[in-house]
Structure 1
Amino acid sequence: MLARLFPPRMTQWLGPLVIAALGALLIATIVVVSGIVDLSAAKPHPEGWARFLHFTFDRSTAFHAGPPPPGDLDSPIRVAAGAAYYGQVCARCHGGPGFGQNPVVLSMHPRPQYLATDLPIASFSSRQLFRVVKAGVKYSAMPSWPADRRDDEIWQLVAFLRALPKMSPDAFRQLAVVSPGQAEAAVPFGNTVAPRTYALRNDHEQPVAVYKYATPAFGFSGYALSANPVATCAQCHGVNGTGGGAFPNLTIQTGDYLARTLAAYAEGRRRSGFMQMVATELSPAQITALAQYYASLPRRSSKAGAPAPLLGQQIALQGVPAAGLAPCASCHGVTRSAVKAFPLLEGQQPWYLANQMRVFRSGGRGSIVGDKLKDPMVAIAKKLSDGQIEAVAAYYAAQPPATVQSFAAVEPKR
């Protein structure tokens, strides 16, 4: 009897195994095709299955943990930057200090965790948090980061998540919640226009027919439709438009440059998990109006009068001949036509400038053609050391804002 149940030769197992596999496949096909499987979100996962799924998620996150965090991960400037994104997007599912979670969110299965307590955040290392934020979690509502090549933004959100459990309700509201009273200017949505396509890294994901990659997009807050985008912009860029350290000073730029930049974010030609989310909700009329609004504000320097490093001045005005680098000033602000193509740097936030140079160096920023970067700044940044980047950023931050009228009206003769 045992010999029949357990044949001595391996070849004798082949037939029974094939029959068992075909039987299991047939049963699985009948179950799927019949529709008997209940995928309703109204019923939670069975306790054992839920534990199994979460264990699998924990192990996967630990195995695929991200790179080592930056040395200044817990700096206030990173925490504040991450708070702006969390308040606009994440808090709608994960809540915040002094606030509960939305009943709609708690009707999901699996439910998003409440992150304003020690347990969820403390159970993950910084590298694991990076992985979750960047890659998202399949079979849940947790999305991946919307912009590729922007690890710097992901670390900013990780910095905020680490600080969140110890944050008071008042501190959370000040950092992460947009106050309608921050800005009064109304920017009407305008007439409905023909949608324009935008590009994401997964915009060819099947089935393409059931997705709509087009802008204007319907967003989380509805600030574009309610004609209140300035209050949303002010959360990061400040009421006066000068930025908050991690975010750029908008008052130093021209309206043309700001409008082109917003359009580039909206179309996915410039990548940013922060800005693509905002820009895709704006109508063309709002993009133009916002650009003119910030260009019309008083031009303020973020660090005017601060000591300007001699090294930074040399790089800006003389370049780095040993590395084959021309002066920064040869493109940034040399003529009126150059101002239309390149951003003005005088008076910009130093941390933002230095961070953007590092983003160029890592390939996270640049003009995107297809899936390739086509931008001279990528090669330039790779030839600069961290010390040189910090020096030139400090130099430009210490300068008074430039005016377009101060530049020549035509290109210099070559």
Structure 2
Amino acid sequence: MKHYLIGGAAIAAIAGAAFFTLAPYNIAASVPHFPLVGEVLHQYLRNAVTVRASRIEVPAQVDLSDPALIRLGAGHFATSCQMCHGAPGIERNPVVEHMRPAPPPLDGDDYEPEEFWWIARHGFKYTGMPSWVAERDDEPWAMAAFLSHYNDFDRTTYEEAAFGEAGAYSSDAISFTDGIPNTCTRCHGEDGMGRGGAAPIVSGQSEGYLIAALMAYGNGQRQSGFMQPLAKPLEPIERARVAEGMAGGGAEWNGIPLPFGDAERGRDLANRGSEHEDIAACSSCHEGHGENGLYPERSDVPRIAGQHGYFLYNWLMMYRDGPVPTTERAHLMAAAAKPLSDEDIADLAAYYSSVR
């Protein structure tokens, strides 16, 4: 019996080596899979997503029906996903139809929101579907929000959500208008006010801070699946043009408040900190300058008073839990965020987003 086992193992090893060396299975994308191979692989993919997404919970700050979050997801989809998957009323590029597997046209009923998040965050091996560019768990929820409502859109409403107006679709990756790329305005708005919470307010931030931020996103010192792909190709003169255009905008910030958190307690933390909890006062760095005193003294520090609460909450979580930027002064913010509890972060975001 032992000899039969040894002989069988030897035959299997030889057959395996022959299969590996001679490569009889044709891997050409021009040739279909054998019957049922594609179906089996696809079902395994579905099972893998379902199992892993079953442990995912929607975070407290995420409202999947929030129009601003859906717009943010639509804008990123237009930049990064539309070429392969098409979009509502927009066909896939013919090139991708000859991939194997071909990226499918999407259907908002195919997956649950947590599953859409998992797919956007982690991608798929052997398919060309990438994982999220940055090690950020917060950002893919915008994709989950948009994809969960995918079937609600036609071409007109999709263009309005993704580009700001109907008929605005363009295949250009970056197209400058008055110094600002349309890939900036589709999320931040032409006025830099964030399109009603779809993106952070950048209008009126200092030009120096905006240039430094774009440079940090471009070289990977700051992580963001939204910003890194757009900032990396920008030349210094283009970054300067974007920063100049956004910095010259209006300064009346009316951020959308965080829907939870104690703004009054946040005010106290922001202005006085907590010696007992080793929490520094945010206002010592982020306020004190300008006519209304809501701008920081240093030009390389951003204004946060009046910013949208959703982004304030996510940024504080990021500085506390990572990935922490590796820019020159980021360690100071990381040290300030380290002692903050979830409640502290919610209260600070609730306060600063309510400042007018």
Q: Mind listing any 5+ residue stretches in structure 2 that lack a counterpart?
A: 290-294
Residues 301 and 398 of structure 1 are in contact (CA less than 8 Å); yes or no, is this contact kept in structure 2? Answer: no
- Distance in 1 separating the partners of 2:305 and 2:77: 30
1:69 pairs with 2:52: no
Q: Tell me what 2:292 maps to.
A: none
Aligned residue among 194, 200, 204 for 1:252: 204
Aligned residue among 47, 60, 84 for 1:59: 47
Which entry has the higher C-alpha Rg, 1 or 2? 1
Q: Tell me what 1:375 maps to.
A: 331
Task: Give the superposition deviation at 1:171.
Answer: 1.8
Task: Give the superposition deviation at 1:235.
Answer: 0.6
- Distance in 2 separating the partners of 1:95 and 1:54: 20
Q: Which moved more, 1:271-280 or 1:88-97?
A: 88-97
1:24-63 matched pairs, under 5 angstroms? 24-32=15-23, 37-63=25-51
Residues 253 and 295 of structure 1 are in contact (CA less than 8 Å); yes or no, is this contact kept in structure 2? Answer: yes
Q: Tell me what 2:190 maps to.
A: 239
Residues 255 and 353 of structure 2 are in contact (CA less than 8 Å); yes or no, is this contact kept in structure 1? Answer: yes
1:151 pairs with 2:137: yes
Name the CA shift for 1:22/1:393 in 2 (closer, same or farther; >3 Å).
closer
1:248-287 matched pairs, under 5 angstroms? 248-287=200-239
Q: Secondary structure at the match of 1:351?
A: helix
Residues 180 and 241 of structure 2 are in contact (CA less than 8 Å); yes or no, is this contact kept in structure 1? Answer: no
Task: Give the superposition deviation at 1:317.
Answer: 1.4
TM-score, structure 2 normalization: 0.85
CA RMSD of aligned residues (A): 3.0
Q: Tell me what 1:350 maps to.
A: 309
1:145-224 matched pairs, under 5 angstroms? 145-148=132-135, 150-177=136-163, 221-223=172-174
Name the CA shift for 1:337/1:85 in 2 (closer, same or farther; >3 Å).
closer
Aligned length: 341
Residues 223 and 229 of structure 1 are in contact (CA less than 8 Å); yes or no, is this contact kept in structure 2? Answer: no
Task: Give the superposition deviation at 1:309.
Answer: 3.7
Task: Give the superposition deviation at 1:248.
Answer: 1.3
Name the CA shift for 1:394/1:59 in 2 (closer, same or farther; >3 Å).
closer
Aligned residue among 277, 291, 302 for 1:323: 277
- What residue identity is the alignment partner of 2:131? S
- What residue identity is the alignment partner of 1:395? Y
Q: Secondary structure at the match of 2:94?
A: coil
Aligned residue among 379, 388, 395 for 2:351: 395
Task: Give the superposition deviation at 1:95.
Answer: 1.7
Q: Secondary structure at the match of 1:241?
A: coil
Aligned residue among 95, 105, 126 for 2:113: 126
Q: Secondary structure at the match of 1:47?
A: coil
- Distance in 1 separating the partners of 2:330 and 2:192: 29
Task: Give the superposition deviation at 1:107.
Answer: 1.6
Name the CA shift for 1:98/1:304 in 2 (closer, same or farther; >3 Å).
closer
Name the CA shift for 1:163/1:337 in 2 (closer, same or farther; >3 Å).
closer
- Distance in 2 separating the partners of 1:268 and 1:346: 26
Task: Give the superposition deviation at 1:291.
Answer: 1.0
Name the CA shift for 1:90/1:181 in 2 (closer, same or farther; >3 Å).
closer
Name the CA shift for 1:14/1:378 in 2 (closer, same or farther; >3 Å).
same
- What residue identity is the alignment partner of 1:164? Y
Residues 130 and 155 of structure 1 are in contact (CA less than 8 Å); yes or no, is this contact kept in structure 2? Answer: yes
Residues 325 and 380 of structure 1 are in contact (CA less than 8 Å); yes or no, is this contact kept in structure 2? Answer: yes
Q: Secondary structure at the match of 2:149?
A: helix
Q: Which moved more, 1:101-110 or 1:63-72?
A: 63-72
1:217-240 deviation digits (Å, cap 9, x = unpaired): xxx833158997532211111111
Q: Tell me what 2:75 maps to.
A: 84
Q: Mind listing any 5+ residue stretches in structure 1 that lack a counterpart?
A: 1-6, 183-219, 401-414
- Distance in 2 separating the partners of 1:304 and 1:77: 10
Q: Percent identity?
A: 30
Task: Give the superposition deviation at 1:364.
Answer: 3.4
Task: Give the superposition deviation at 1:279.
Answer: 0.2
Name the CA shift for 1:235/1:304 in 2 (closer, same or farther; >3 Å).
closer
TM-score, structure 1 normalization: 0.74
Q: Tell me what 1:296 maps to.
A: 248
